[in-house]
Amino acid sequence: MTQPFRLNMARQIDSLIKSGPKLVWIINIAFILRIACSVLIQIVATRRGTVCLFGDTPIYWEYAKSIANGTTYVVYQWDVPHYALRTPGYPAWLAGWIAIFGEWALPIRIGQSILSVCGILWLYKLAKVVGFSEQSARWSSTFLAFDPFQIVSTPLLLTESIFTPLLVLFVLVWVKALKSIQNLSLIKHNYFHYILLGVLQGVLTLIRPAWLPFIAILDLSFLWLISSQKHGLLVLASLLLIQAGWALPIVPWMARNESVIGRTSLGGTWGGASLYDGLQPTATGSSDMSFVADLEYRDLSETAQDDLWKFLSYQAIQDNPNRIARLAIQKQIRFWSAWPNDSAKVPLVVKATCLLIVWPVWGLMLLGFWKNLHQRMVFWVLSPLFFTALMHLLFVGSSRYRLAVILPAMILTGEGFTRILRIAFKRSPELN
């Protein structure tokens, strides 16, 4: 290898370290990959004669059609009407596309691909707002753009397809709000910013009801600042604006449920079934919803079912807390699994491939976290991931749930990778 060639390579590497891949290329490649996957999944679904590949989709699809057609928001299970079985966040998204294109899923998959690409752009902005460098933000976006798990999950008609990118937007607005609250003039002139944060919290809750308790962490992040702020009343005022924004999407849903089923049921009436799924006597940490079809349950009203399954869940915790603790460990193993669950059905070659993808990314995240231990904002960015992990000490565990909330934490991959690049490719004297 000649000296000029080595020098040219060194300069190219140096340039890559300084700036990272160009953002426009990251976005374009990410979009192409997601569109290609959308088309492939549409072909597979069409050949199978189904709208999607998972059992949850038909319920969302029926609710979506009711919204698109302007009829009663209801699905039937064994001829029993369920008016609030699932929250309307994802059905409303589907309904918008159905109203325009009819019951053709490909436009929905393309729309979710566009939203996923927006999530990459929001991740880039999040990294910059947190205080990371330009090259770090670009590398983080690159890892997300090429993440095979996100590429495959984006076109699927499941709630995480829109929850995941919107979560990145939520964290971006949250970090901006926390930073602006330290500046008195920004507090006074960015009221809309706090309302938007509350609206996003409410929208995420209507997409995935398990997100509801996160509002406590959101509020805590602002209350934490009061002790270090001279203008505590303004901090509390901004917090009230967040609650007002949260109420905008939530209150209509609660009021509607109160009038239709006699209770607010903010999280819908599926919470009891989800909880019992993870705690039932035969629970293993994975999901087994076959109990829903049992004769003793299926003819009950949706509120009676929800109440009964919650009661049985609380009773299971009281009767055998040691079993629940052992189940919690199994759920966490599944939650942090590098390969898709159920692992028993995953070929060894797929497991090995997943390990080669996931573990290096986690290593970069840990390195990036270690580099930024002094940054309090990083802990708030990581909080959705660990909040969800704690939730699944009770609910069933699956790597699918981790993939839905890990995106904000991926700003640390760029931090870790730029650190490795600078160690491995120190600039040569000729380039100084």
Task: Measure the CA–CA gap between 192 and 195, rounded to whole angstroms.
Answer: 5
pLDDT score at 302: 94
The pLDDT of residue 432 is above 50: no
pLDDT score at 428: 43
**Pairing status of strand 75-77 against strand 80-82:** antiparallel
Task: Measure the CA–CA gap between 292 and 277, rounded to whole angstroms.
Answer: 9
4: in domain: no
DSSP lists the bridge partners of residue 76 as 81
Task: Give the mean pLDDT of 294-311.
Answer: 92
pLDDT score at 295: 86
Phi (first) and psi of residue 422, to 5 degrees: -70, -30
16: in domain: no
User: In the chain, pLDDT over 90 holds for what percent of residues?
Assistant: 73
Total domains in the chain come to 1
pLDDT band at 342 (very low <50, low <70, confident <90, very high): low
12: in domain: no
- Report H helices in 160-319: 160-180, 184-189, 191-207, 214-226, 232-260, 271-279, 295-298, 302-319
pLDDT score at 52: 77
User: In the chain, pLDDT over 70 holds for what percent of residues?
Assistant: 90
Give yes or no for a contact between 415 and 295, defined as CB atoms under 8 angstroms apart. Answer: no
Task: Measure the CA–CA gap between 264 and 289, rounded to whole angstroms.
Answer: 25
Distances (CA, A) of 115 to 27, 84, 160, 346: 12, 26, 12, 29
Task: Enter the tokens of residue 116.
Answer: 């996923």
Task: Measure the CA–CA gap between 387 and 1, rounded to whole angstroms.
Answer: 52
54: in domain: yes
Residues 365-378 pLDDT 10s: 999 999 999 988 99
11: in domain: no
Peptide bond into 14 cis (omega under 30): no
The pLDDT of residue 212 is above 50: yes
- In order, the DSSP letters of 374-404 are T-HHHHHHHHHHHHHHHHTTTSPP-HHHHHT
Task: Enter the tokens of residue 301.
Answer: 């009203």
33: in domain: yes
Task: Give the mean pLDDT of 153-166.
Answer: 95
Mean pLDDT for the chain overall: 90
Task: Give the mean pLDDT of 231-249.
Answer: 88
pTM score, two decimals? 0.93
Of the candidates 167, 200, 197, 165, the residue with the CA atom closest to the CA atom of residue 181:
197
The pLDDT of residue 429 is above 50: no
Identify the residue whose tokens are 């999950």. Answer: 153
Residues 84-135 pLDDT 10s: 999 999 999 999 999 999 999 999 999 999 999 999 999 999 999 999 999 9
Residues 224-234 pLDDT 10s: 877 665 667 77
248: in domain: yes
377: in domain: yes
Poorest-pLDDT segment among 5-14, 97-106, 116-125, 172-181? 5-14
Distances (CA, A) of 212 to 89, 313, 424: 13, 19, 44
pLDDT score at 431: 37
Give yes or no for a contact between 150 and 424, defined as CB atoms under 8 angstroms apart. Answer: no
pLDDT score at 237: 84
Residue 50 lies in domain: 22-335+343-431
